[in-house]
A and B are shown apart, each in its own frame.
Chain A
Amino acid sequence: MSTIPDQHYIDRILHGETNLFAVLVDRYKDMIFTLSLKMIKNREEAEEAAQDTFIKVYNSLSKFKGDSKFSTWIYKISYNNCLDRLKKNKKEDFNISIDEFSSHLVKTMDNALSALEEKERKQAIQNCLNLLPREDNFLLTLFYFEDQNLEEIGKIMNLNANNIKVKLFRSRQKLATILKKQLEPEIIECYERGR
């Protein structure tokens, strides 16, 4: 299925085969929904936002000129759509101050995380990601789930590649800070065991 390029479907949709849009929706709905969820942090609203995004994509499909990847283009639409929604609903974003990390602490955190059972670990990671500011979360998802390079992420988030690199660095540190707070009891345990 994924061997047929998006552009082939786009051309046919523009020639009136509206139903084929479902193929593109199925291809990207998980990613668009996840990205919206990272930004909005509420399943129902994120689903609405994802739907909105796809309707916008459909209506401006003729404006897609193929200068960038189709995925880059629709992620950008999704990002702007989420920002609009958040602005309208005046949602406050969390603020995380970045802690200093010694390399020993990072290793201890790594060990503590690995010591957790899989289910527990996944839950802990979900909790951390939920506490991460929206844009950092969006950025990390784009970076780790899609083979988007810094240039493309820059296009999506209206920044240049260097800014993205710095942002990515800070996002990682923020997530590590959150993880440290979440893992506090386990870290102490690990320290004690290490003695």
Chain B
Amino acid sequence: MKEEDKNIENLIEKMMADDTLQSPSADFTSNLMSQILVAEKAKIKPYKPLISISTWIFIGVALALLIAYNVFFAGTQNNLEIGKSYTDKISTVFSGIHISKTLLYAILIVPFMVLIQIGVLKNYFDKKYQL
């Protein structure tokens, strides 16, 4: 290396030693962190029901229309002859089976018990896996 280059190198080194690192404003880190935390929160998707409200409304309206149709029209205009012979057969198939009243009550009680158990079990597991 030429002598003047060496000298320039020394000179610049001296100059740079006098230069100091600059600091950003005092609330730089807190500003930045609040921005990052906001962005991070936005990433966590809010709870979204599987069946949206609009779908529920559609289902409700469709159901209401069906019931209304049945009540107001199906009763008077009896032009649904096609399935008639089948429904007759179905309604007579089970006529040979007789169920005692005790058994009937027992069968009716089972779903109620299941419904109660769902609640109890849900509570139990919620408590168990609570954070």
Binding site for B on A (CB under 8 A): 18-19, 21-22, 25-26, 29-31, 33-34, 37, 46-47, 50-51, 54-55, 58, 101-103, 105-107, 109-110, 113, 121-122, 125-126, 128-129, 140-141, 144-145, 169, 172-173, 175-176, 179
Contacts and interface: CB of A to CB of B under 8 A. Distances in A.
Interface stretch (B4-12, B74-82, B86-94): B4-12
Contacts of A102: 4
Contact of A47 (B13, B18, B25, B33): B25
B24 A169 contact: no
B14 A110 contact: yes
- Interface residues of A: mostly helix, strand, loop or mixed? helix
A145 B23 CA distance: 14
Contacts of B126: none
A16 B21 CA distance: 32
A126 B28 CA distance: 23
Contacts of B32: 25, 51, 54-55
A25 B32 CA distance: 9
Nearest to B29: A25
Interface stretch (B35-43, B48-56, B65-73, B101-109): B35-43
A18 B5 contact: no
B33 A172 contact: no
Contact of B36 (A18, A103, A110): A18
B57 interface: no
Nearest to A169: B5
A30 B15 contact: no
A103 B29 contact: no
Given A51-B35, A125-B15, A129-B19, 15 more contacts: A19-B37, A25-B28, A30-B24, A33-B23, A33-B24, A37-B22, A50-B24, A103-B4, A106-B4, A106-B8, A122-B18, A126-B19, A144-B17, A169-B5, A175-B15
Contact of B7 (A46, A103, A169): A103
A175 B12 contact: yes
**Chain B interface residue number, banded:** 20 to 34
A72 B90 CA distance: 80
Contacts of A19: 33, 37
Contacts of B8: 101, 106, 172-173, 176
A30 B23 contact: yes
B97 interface: no
Contacts of B28: 25, 29, 33, 47, 50-51
Contact of A22 (B4, B13, B25, B33): B33
Contacts of A55: 32, 35-36, 39
A30 B9 CA distance: 25
B121 interface: no
A175 B11 CA distance: 10
A169 B4 CA distance: 12
Contacts of A144: 13, 16-17, 19
Contacts of A113: 11, 14-15
A141 B13 CA distance: 11
B7 A125 contact: no
